[in-house]
Chain A
């Protein structure tokens, strides 16, 4: 071992980085952005909105309702029980709790039985609502000596008590996996086209730029479709991820995501000169989308300004569409699904245009 020779290697490495501003930025700026985003989301996310309908003829309903108001786990609003399902569907609340007219009366005989209606596609939010209710009931029960049985009647708008974590995340995960892998493969191979000089040859041929982009898109889409089918079948039949919707529709949405990823890859390859730089797009493009697209945390519980950011990411719409289909059983007659699919398709068109427009600048 020679200290001089080792020092030469170390120095060479650091010298190279000094000129590679982008890598330095990645090393020292990206962690702050990613960690900051995560921290901000976890600390400042709003608590789930829960509707409370108190129809109790006696005093107990009001006691529990006010205890719920005090809870820091949820944000309560007073609603009419008959409006509850509509509010669950439009997403303004994740659960509503009804204290039926005989709530106090039954409590006298030792049974506390509120009705809990859960939206069912957001496991974290539902768990928080249930915890808040349990805490509120414990407060109420402590005022009332004697043996009491707490027996909430829980019902689900979508899914049910048998759905586990994988069932909720599986839908989003199959989309994310396909998006991520297709993106990486596309950006690197389009970059190869440039670094090996063949792109220059293509541009000096009668090929039109649009023909290059669309040809690439179709080629990668063929691969992506096979991958999508494989991932989907594995999720459904090996992992037994819960599915309420049409398998072909899921496949269609996945395919659309893959095509988005292909075109995003072609477009972004413009901004990378080496494969090394292309790989750096992963933390910049994939990680924020992973955090912000509603895969882990519902978009509506994010701080407001992050919601705006979520709203311009293609993955947000794609994940939402996949969840709607697999957990809620949505089909193309649902306006929310039409919107999601429409937005993702619009992203595809935008990336094709952007990729084509920037192709010439890449060669010159």
Chain B
């Protein structure tokens, strides 16, 4: 997965400013930045939802926009985007079908521990269950690249640990995961990090490399220090 010098402008705000990054197969890449920094815009550019003003996005060796490559991409939006009138299983079947697969529903449901609730209508589920269902919908077609936009917002700590365990298992199985977050302790769990502020990717590296770059003890301080130095 490669993003090459992508710029996106909304009005006179530069949402993405010459962002370049490369993520390898099986890697968990964390996009770290405050609200409004450009994380969501970057993820939407990677799934082809927005066309960049300049620059290119290449996924699995193919340049976007390309509908076929989207078959290999799973996308979990920030809010749980589900059909509230359908049951958990019906939602999964739908997202499987539009990605051209039949099987995998049961596996995905077991993966997020919702198999027992598969018959429940989504509108009756709790927020955390919806979030899990949404994750299941993003990975039901076994994508090679999984994009997660703040998947753990509003998720209780216990569930967050479960989520990350699942992400690690998937990455071990060869799935590339790009996850955005503004929670620093989540960032520690990523193989590599991209720090983003005002649409600019100003630092990259593993959590320890980022700390070393800034010469600080924790990521939060590192972020603030590097952001202060490199983004004016």
Q: Is A13 in contact with chain B by the CB < 8 A criterion?
A: no
Q: Is B36 in contact with chain A by the CB < 8 A criterion?
A: no
Check if B71 sits within 8 Å of A201, measured CB to CB. Answer: no
Given A201-B77, A364-B50; A207-B98 close (CB under 8 Å): yes
What 0/1 readout, one digit per residue, does chain A (172-206) give for beta carbons within 8 Å of chain B? 00000000000000000000000011101111111
Q: Is A363 in contact with chain B by the CB < 8 A criterion?
A: yes
Q: How far is the CB of B16 from chain A (nearest CB, A)?
A: 13
Q: How far is the CB of A230 from chain B (nearest CB, A)?
A: 23
Check if A205 sits within 8 Å of B98, measured CB to CB. Answer: yes
Residues on the A chain within 8 Å of B95, using CB = 201, 205
Given A205-B70, A206-B70, A363-B49; A200-B77 close (CB under 8 Å): yes
Q: How far is the CB of B206 from chain A (nearest CB, A)?
A: 28
Q: Is B196 in contact with chain A by the CB < 8 A criterion?
A: no
| 16 contacts across the A-B interface (CB closer than 8 A) | A197-B77, A197-B81, A200-B49, A201-B75, A201-B81, A201-B95, A203-B49, A204-B44, A204-B48, A204-B70, A205-B95, A206-B70, A207-B98, A363-B49, A364-B49, A364-B51
Q: Is A208 in contact with chain B by the CB < 8 A criterion?
A: yes
What is the bound-complex CA distance between A206 and B65, given in angstroms? 11
Check if A204 sits within 8 Å of B83, measured CB to CB. Answer: no
Residues of chain A whose beta carbon lies under 8 Å from any beta carbon of chain B: 196-198, 200-208, 363-364
What is the bound-complex CA distance between A206 and B69, given in angstroms? 8
B99 touches which of A196, A198, A206, A364 (Cβ 8 Å): A206
Closest to A202 in B: B98
Q: Is B79 in contact with chain A by the CB < 8 A criterion?
A: yes
Q: How far is the CB of B113 from chain A (nearest CB, A)?
A: 22
What is the bound-complex CA distance between A203 and B73, given in angstroms? 12
Residues on the B chain within 8 Å of A205, using CB = 70, 75, 95, 98-99
What is the bound-complex CA distance between A197 and B138, given in angstroms? 13
B49 touches which of A198, A204, A206 (Cβ 8 Å): A204
Residues on the B chain within 8 Å of A198, using CB = 81-83
Residue in A197, A204, A208 with the greatest tally of chain B CB atoms within 10 Å:
A204
15 other A-B residue contacts (CB within 8 Å) besides A196-B84, A201-B75, A201-B77: A196-B81, A196-B83, A198-B81, A198-B83, A202-B98, A203-B49, A204-B44, A204-B47, A205-B99, A206-B68, A206-B70, A206-B71, A206-B98, A206-B99, A363-B49
Q: How many CB-defined contacts (below 8 Å) exist between A and B?
A: 47
Closest to B75 in A: A204
Residues on the A chain within 8 Å of B31, using CB = none
Given A200-B77, A201-B77, A201-B81; A206-B67 close (CB under 8 Å): yes
What is the bound-complex CA distance between A315 and B81, given in angstroms? 36
Check if B48 sits within 8 Å of A196, measured CB to CB. Answer: no
Check if B83 sits within 8 Å of A201, measured CB to CB. Answer: no
Q: How far is the CB of A214 from chain B (nearest CB, A)?
A: 13
Closest to B69 in A: A206
What is the bound-complex CA distance between A205 and B137, given in angstroms? 11
Q: Is B11 in contact with chain A by the CB < 8 A criterion?
A: no
Closest to A205 in B: B98
What is the bound-complex CA distance between A197 and B131, given in angstroms? 13
Closest to A363 in B: B49
Residues on the B chain within 8 Å of A363, using CB = 49
What is the bound-complex CA distance between A202 and B49, given in angstroms? 10
Residues on the A chain within 8 Å of B82, using CB = 196, 198
Check if B99 sits within 8 Å of A197, measured CB to CB. Answer: no
Residues on the A chain within 8 Å of B79, using CB = 197
Residues on the A chain within 8 Å of B71, using CB = 206
Q: How far is the CB of B199 from chain A (nearest CB, A)?
A: 16
What is the bound-complex CA distance between A245 and B97, given in angstroms? 43
Q: How far is the CB of B203 from chain A (nearest CB, A)?
A: 28
What is the bound-complex CA distance between A64 and B43, given in angstroms? 83
Closest to A364 in B: B50
What is the bound-complex CA distance between A205 and B77, given in angstroms? 12
CB under 8 Å from chain A, chain B span 66-98? 67-68, 70-71, 73, 75, 77, 79-84, 95, 98
Residues on the A chain within 8 Å of B61, using CB = none
Residues on the B chain within 8 Å of A207, using CB = 67, 98
What is the bound-complex CA distance between A203 and B47, given in angstroms? 9
Residues on the B chain within 8 Å of A208, using CB = 67
Closest to B141 in A: A205
Q: Is B228 in contact with chain A by the CB < 8 A criterion?
A: no
Residue in B47, B73, B80, B81 with the greatest tally of chain A CB atoms within 10 Å:
B81
Q: Is B157 in contact with chain A by the CB < 8 A criterion?
A: no
Q: How far is the CB of A285 from chain B (nearest CB, A)?
A: 26
Check if A201 sits within 8 Å of B137, measured CB to CB. Answer: yes
Q: Which 5 A-B pairs have the closest CB atoms?
A: A197-B81, A204-B47, A204-B75, A206-B70, A206-B71
Q: How far is the CB of B44 from chain A (nearest CB, A)?
A: 8
Closest to B47 in A: A204
What is the bound-complex CA distance between A202 and B138, given in angstroms? 11
What is the bound-complex CA distance between A243 and B156, given in angstroms? 65
Check if A206 sits within 8 Å of B100, measured CB to CB. Answer: yes
Q: How far is the CB of A118 from chain B (nearest CB, A)?
A: 53
What is the bound-complex CA distance between A206 and B70, given in angstroms? 5
Q: How far is the CB of B62 from chain A (nearest CB, A)?
A: 13
Residues on the B chain within 8 Å of A201, using CB = 75, 77, 81, 95, 137
What is the bound-complex CA distance between A364 and B48, given in angstroms? 10
Residues on the B chain within 8 Å of A204, using CB = 44, 47-49, 70, 73, 75
Closest to B70 in A: A206
Q: How far is the CB of B76 from chain A (nearest CB, A)?
A: 9
